[in-house]
Amino acid sequence: MHEKHREQAQMVRRRDLLSLIGAMAGSGAMYHAMTSLGFAAESRYGGPIRLEGDPKGATVLILGAGLAGMTAAFELRKAGYSVRVLEFNARPGGRNWTLRGGDRFAELGGVTQACEFEEGLYINPGPWRIPYHHRALLDYCKRLNVALEPFIQLNHNAYLHSQRAFGGRPQRIRAVQADFRGSISELLAKVTRQGKLDEGVTKEDQEILLQALKSWGALDRDYRYNASLISSESRGYAKAPGGGLSAAPAPSDPVALSDILKSRLWRYLQNFANYNFQTTMFQPVGGMDMIGKAFAKELADVITYNAKVTGIAQDDGGVTVSFVDTTVPAKRWTATADWCVCTIPLSIMSQLPVQVSSAMKAAIDAVPYSGSVKVGLQFKRRFWEEDEAIYGGISYTDTPIRQIAYPNTGFNRSSRGVLLGAYLFDGANAYEFTAMTPAERVARAVEFGAAIHPQYKNEFECGVAVAWHRVPFTLGCSGDWSDAARVQHYHNLCQIDGRIVLAGEHASALPAWQEGAILSALDAIGRLHERVVRT
């Protein structure tokens, strides 16, 4: 509370200063000042990193060619360092990854899936959407010429579905949202007019509140939410406006508040309100891995693929990393450098012999990794568009698949399409799906999805399923910090330990987001560089 008050006082002072700057120097200067004072900032990203000063030929070994590792390599090389990147996979990107027709993926346990999607169709098994406030990632997309298109988080015509409500029939998001809002507005208007808010709201504000509720809740002149052309403008019509003789629209019937409440469908509405999921969101054209590929194109000569790190040692003189070439595993290699930026997931790093302080080692050991499963399904036709007018976006369900996400590209074509047929994150179902074979995950996604889209039964062609605990290069989806572990260990995890510094989503306050990986890398190399130029 004290902290918050101080923050508010500070903001007032800043605002005074800003109007002064605005008046004196015009709005361009004011915007610059706002940004540098952290007032208008949507992000902790301060623009391209400037590593000034001579690194005097220092060498840096970077472990992992995901977004954190490649950000570090890209920027350090630009600053004059000699860099080398070791990557476990035969491809760049790490969790920045796309599966397309023709790709093969071997999960832990030995099953290899062959993705048989039609050319141009894909799923992003890992990250798949970019919030507008992830300014670092957006800036790298711009600098690396990665084309973006909208990712549709909220489609009012997609569904909310509960097995136990409305006879298991999916409900349009548009209608649930309108009815929930309308009924609450009606209720609030009623108690306002009964004078029951007199203690909390002034008479003058009550008048404004009633106007607002009428507008926001689509209420009629008597402050009622009922079947009318007013409410239909929000929730949709029984008969939509047309042309000519039969043009007149007919209103639809709202669902009663009690039914909405008991259905629990309201709980999905936060997926559209949460800061991380607010419009505008983006996706790279052609697949998320366009970002990793664009980085790797810049770094082609410094990345060694198929390199499995087996140990990290350090002394006053530098860092020695031992690794094997996974294509010729019998032979052991070492690489040395003055410094090391390690982006290996903690799930793996906690198993490696690593020469770091006991405080950092305890931090490395303190973070379990989340379970998450995604299933991509190809269908003969885009029935969600043709039959149901769902163009992009996400339907939410209480069945174990949790979500069905529609492609945000290739709209309105008579062609095949690929849905994200399941997206489980944490919770019991994510483990249950991980424990299945890939074929069963696909079959179950089809079975549960058919309750929402009966067309599944006739139109399904093929699928792929990625369970992140079975992914060989991460053994999990992302670092699942508990609040207590973060308090105890996060600071120690992010220290420069001798000649080693860690980076990745696990070393950020944006777990599981690509922005976290990039911001952590920028923060780590900024501190590393400071130390190098100082010595």
Interacting residues with another protein (CB under 8 A): 88, 104, 106, 108-114, 116, 308-309, 344, 346-348, 350-352, 365, 367-371, 398, 400, 427-429, 431-432, 434-440, 442-444, 446-447, 460-463, 467, 469-476, 480
Nearer to another protein, 506 or 529 (CB): 506
CA-wise closest residue to 490 among 509, 462, 471: 509
Strand ranges of the sheet holding 460-467, from the earlier edge strand across to the other edge: 171-172, 159-161, 393-397, 403-406, 417-425, 372-379, 460-467
Nearer to another protein, 26 or 109 (CB): 109
Q: Which residues contact 153 (CB under 8 A, 6 or more apart)?
A: 129, 271, 272, 277, 278, 279, 281, 393, 394
Neighbours of 237 (CB within 10 A): 15
Nearer to another protein, 220 or 432 (CB): 432
The answer to whether 169 touches 454, Cβ cutoff 8 Å, is no
Q: Compute the least distance from the CB of residue 262 to another protein, in Å.
A: 16
Nearer to another protein, 225 or 481 (CB): 481
Q: Compute the least distance from the CB of residue 86 to another protein, in Å.
A: 11
Q: Compute the least distance from the CB of residue 498 to another protein, in Å.
A: 22
Nearer to another protein, 149 or 440 (CB): 440
CA 420 to chain centre: 15
CA 407 to chain centre: 16
Instruction: Please give the structure tokens belonging to residue 408.
Output: 């945000």
Q: Compute the least distance from the CB of residue 255 to another protein, in Å.
A: 23
* H helices present in 301-411, as ranges: 346-349, 358-364, 383-386
How does DSSP classify residue 158? S
Q: Compute the least distance from the CB of residue 499 to another protein, in Å.
A: 22
CA–CA separation, 512 and 492 (whole Å): 20
Q: Compute the least distance from the CB of residue 520 to another protein, in Å.
A: 19
Nearer to another protein, 33 or 341 (CB): 341
Q: Which amino acid appears at position 433 of this protein? A: F
Nearer to another protein, 298 or 447 (CB): 447
Q: Compute the least distance from the CB of residue 213 to another protein, in Å.
A: 34
Strand, helix or coil at 236?
A: coil
Instruction: Please give the structure tokens belonging to residue 382.
Output: 């885009």
Q: Compute the least distance from the CB of residue 29 to another protein, in Å.
A: 50
Q: Which amino acid appears at position 531 of this protein? A: R
The answer to whether 438 touches 462, Cβ cutoff 8 Å, is no
The answer to whether 115 touches 103, Cβ cutoff 8 Å, is yes
Q: Which helix (H) or strand (E) holds 483?
A: helix 483-494
Phi then psi dihedrals of residue 111, to 5 deg:
-85, 130
Q: Compute the least distance from the CB of residue 366 to another protein, in Å.
A: 8
The answer to whether 501 touches 524, Cβ cutoff 8 Å, is yes
Q: Compute the least distance from the CB of residue 306 to another protein, in Å.
A: 11
Q: Compute the least distance from the CB of residue 488 to another protein, in Å.
A: 14
The CA-based dihedral angle spanning residues 471, 475, 478, 480, taken in that order and rounded to the nearest 10 degrees? 150
CA–CA separation, 491 and 360 (whole Å): 9
Nearer to another protein, 286 or 472 (CB): 472
Nearer to another protein, 134 or 308 (CB): 308
Nearer to another protein, 325 or 523 (CB): 325
Say which residue the tokens 């004011």 belong to: 30
